[in-house]
Structure 1
Amino acid sequence: MERRRLRPVATTRRQRGVARALALEPGSPASLQARVANRVIRMVLRSFWAASPLTDEGLLRVQRAAAVLARLQSTPRGVAFEPQDLGTCSAEWVRAGRPDEDRVFLYLHGGGYFFGGPRLYRPLNWRLSAATRRVVLALDYRLVPRHTPADALEDAVGAYEFLLGRGHAPENIVVGGDSAGGHLTMALLLALKQRDLPLPKAAVCLSPWVDLLCAADSHHTNERTDCLIPAKNLAWLGRDYCDGKPEDDPLHAPARGDLTGLPPMLFVASSTEILRDDTRDAHERALAAGVRSVHQEWDGLAHVFPIFAEFVPEGKAAYRHIADFLADAGA
């Protein structure tokens, strides 16, 4: 008779805590750790951004602060980082555990198109590599104010073409990003489709800033409950990026583009963030276009909560859900 394989039992307090975190599902009340983290994020990160002037110098001020924060972060042993030159920009290979070298996750970081990068996003990228058993290529695309979101899109297309040229089959590539990187993910898919390039196997959008015009209701209704993004700052950015561009330009509002034929997509957001409705709308438009789409809305968490997984148990659980989504999509 075949013996049933038993799962290892969590024996230490830390192991039991991790097991409980991984079991969390969307719809559960926010954990105590998440509520405490929300207060700290509001007092430190949101306050700093809200106090920064709505000028290029204000953007550079946040950019410099993010660079300092990135240098203060640590990563566990066994995680490897390798720089990659892509011509117009650079990227960083991230490997955690024993990933399959043929399978790649092209990750596009958030930061409103004006801050962020692979170094700041190492806590997210190594967890993504470990959970999905993929090598992560974290793109360091060109940033505002010296460049534009259109430059970032060209960098993303170039990175994808680099992967194809390196011999990675499209069915072994997943793309994804958070916030502005979620917007860039959708814009990339539409650009690849427009250029008749093979599409990746799947896409993941974490709290995507789908509409740079910030027209969704939650930009107003959740203005007070979003613990990370000051709504007026994001709206100012969006107006600047869209100045002189048609309202239906897919670069600036990719959810309003033709989504037919896109690969399976996962959309994740929090009920209390200002980008809640952007995420809902993108999911609904994807479904209407015949795209296989999954939407998860978690209660009372910070914008892009998976990046805070060191402190927020729901963040740890998010990586399991991403891995499960990719497995269900055959990726």
Structure 2
Amino acid sequence: MSIDQVIEQVQAVYGSWGRETTVAQMRADWDRLFGETVSPDSSQPVDADGVCAAWIDAPEIDRDRVLLYFHGGGFQVGSVRSHFDLMHRLSAAARCRVLAVDYRLAPEHIFPAALDDALSAYAWLLEQGVPATNIALAGDSAGGGLALSLLLQLREAGMALPASAAVMSAWTDMTASGESYQTRADSDPIHQRRMVLAMAGNYLGQQDASDPRVSPLFAELQGLPPLLLQVGDRETVLDDSRMFAHKAQAAGVAVQLQVYDAMIHVFQQFPQHLTQAQEAIAAVGQHLEAHWPPHSNPYNS
């Protein structure tokens, strides 16, 4: 399947939505688009101090290492089911457990619900005896922005930071100020600035869109752990990653930016069709492996 066929598959879902489409229907459609092959027994639900989550383990992993993952979906759709395949592949690529966080969604739960859930899940991992050096954060789109916002919250709270973070097509700027919203408007098949701002409004409530807790691009970024940012060159949110990476590097953060030619928003969700998605997932695994301590007990799955 080519990238154009992938786009057609995604547009078939988005194009079926109208003003009368309920959020519940959008969530169900999203889960079917990305999670139709997931077995009900493929993950292990867990209560992470009141936060719904699930353990996802590939074979031959080091269970002492944990990737805390936040799914995308504009803070309104997305779930463990929709992102299971991606998270399972990341578990294999990084040889770690994945704790998938089903944070509360808007419009039922506006800011700061998602960030509160992220912080609670991280604190729960620490309470379970997992050292921060054995934890990494990851996420895509809204979940990528949430992972970065969590890093900032942990730093401000004086809590131990994870070993690293990797984000895909991260939404770092809810004001949508990047030039790519114009320069990539014709090449991005889905995410136009008007749509992005509408999603932001549903999540923000009365919160200022430039608050660093919702738009980590506007935060002071010094003191963060090593970061990997991946993004497609066709995305309107391209500058959300480029500007964040530039600002983080200027603040002394070890950051790597990978821009994939001709790729769309969170193309990593199509590894069965796109070799670029397979390469990107492998690169995330390499990044995480490089910043964790050596395996204490390899393949203790």
Common fold: TM-score over 0.5: yes
| 8 A contact 2:49–2:121 mirrored in 1 | no
Comparing 86-95 with 61-70, greater Cα deviation is found at 61-70
Q: Does 1:291 align with 2:259?
A: no
**Are 2:213 and 1:223 equivalent residues in the alignment?**
no
Mapped to 1, the partners of 2:258 and 2:81 lie a distance apart of 27
Q: Which has the larger radius of gyration?
A: 1
1:278 aligned residue (229, 240, 255)? 240
Structure 1 residues not aligned, in runs of 5+: 1-31
CA RMSD, aligned part only?
2.0
Given the alignment of the two structures, is residue 86 of structure 1 paired with residue 67 of structure 2, yes or no?
no
Count matched residues.
292
Aligned to 1:45: 13
60 and 52 in structure 1: CA distance in 2 versus 1, 3 angstrom threshold: farther
Q: 1:5-154 alignment to 2 at 5 Å? A: 33-42=2-11, 44-48=12-16, 51-53=17-19, 58-69=22-33, 72-74=36-38, 80-154=42-116
Q: Which amino acid aligns with 1:40?
A: Q
> What TM-score do you get using the length of structure 2 for normalisation?
0.90
Cα drift, residue 222 of structure 1 = 1.6
Give the Cα separation in 2 of the matches to 1:132 and 1:71: 21
Q: Which residue identity does 1:62 align to in structure 2?
A: M
2:129 is aligned, of 156, 160, 167, to 167
Distance across 2 between alignment mates of 1:241 and 1:74: 28
**Distance in 2 of aligned mates of 1:189 and 1:240:** 23
Quote the Cα distance in structure 2 between the aligned partners of 1:322 and 1:149. 28
The letter of the residue matching 1:47 is G
1:195-231 deviation digits (Å, cap 9, x = unpaired): 1110000001100010111111112222231123243
Runs of 5+ consecutive residues of structure 2 not aligned to the other structure: 294-301
Distance 1:64-1:230 versus aligned 2 partners, 3 A rule: farther
Cα distance in 2, alignment partners of residues 139 and 240 from structure 1: 20
Aligned twin of 2:160: 198
The answer for the alignment partner of 1:7 in structure 2 is none
Deviations 1:8-49 (A, max 9, x none): xxxxxxxxxxxxxxxxxxxxxxxx72233233333x13423x
Q: Secondary structure at the match of 2:112?
A: helix
1:262-305 per-position Cα deviation (integer Å, ceiling 9, x unaligned)? 00000000110111010101101110110000000001112101
Q: Match of 1:149, SS? A: coil
- Kindly provide the amino acid, as one letter, of the partner of residue 158 in structure 2: D
Cα offset, 1:311, TM superposition: 1.1
Question: TM-score scaled to structure 1, two decimals?
Answer: 0.83
